[in-house]
Amino acid sequence: MGASLNGKNILIITSNTGIERDELLKPLEALRGFGARVTHGASEGGTVQTFVGDTEKDRTVESNAKLAALSASDFDALVIPGGTVNADTLRLDTAALGLIKDFVEAGKTVAAICHGPWALINAGVVEGKTLTSYKSVRLDLENAGAAGWVDAEVKQCDANGWTLITSRTPDDLPAFNEAIAKALAG
């Protein structure tokens, strides 16, 4: 793509347990490859357990900060990985929900993949947006007031004063990462 994200600061948020490995590490590596400074914030800070799928433990990863210590004002974009356990945990995390709301209120880019939109639902920010997600999240999004759901590898919606980028599964990660980079470089 050739997008340069030099000078851009991106926050990726996760819980400490149950994060889908590729949905954390591939965006982190890709966005750093575009030149962005990427911070990984976790609910409790410290060590994060990654999984392949939702049941096979993989490696642990050190986060950079505890979510409660982070501020949307320090970042240009927010990325929310999926994984069923991660997304289910984040949607009940008050610090995560507060960060999501702050990014939206500031008119910044928010990107979520797979089950990640669950956190967007609980933050109350999907109304009027058209997005994609893992197929089982579709009805939840529709019930939360999303304007629509599409079956596409990536969907960008610029409405209500902020940009939302969503994808369905780890197979969509190349398109997801590219869309984030393009939105921030533009």
Q: Which of 78, 9, 84, 12 is nearest to 51 (CA)?
A: 84
Give yes or no: 157 in active site.
Answer: no
For residue 151, how far is the Cα from the chain centroid? 18
- Which listed residue (114, 123, 173, 179) is catalytic? 114
| CB of 12 closer than 8 Å to CB of 176 | no
Rounded Cα distance between 68 and 96, Å, is 8
- Which listed residue (8, 40, 91, 115) is catalytic? 115
Rounded Cα distance between 117 and 3, Å, is 26
Q: Catalytic site residues?
A: 114-115
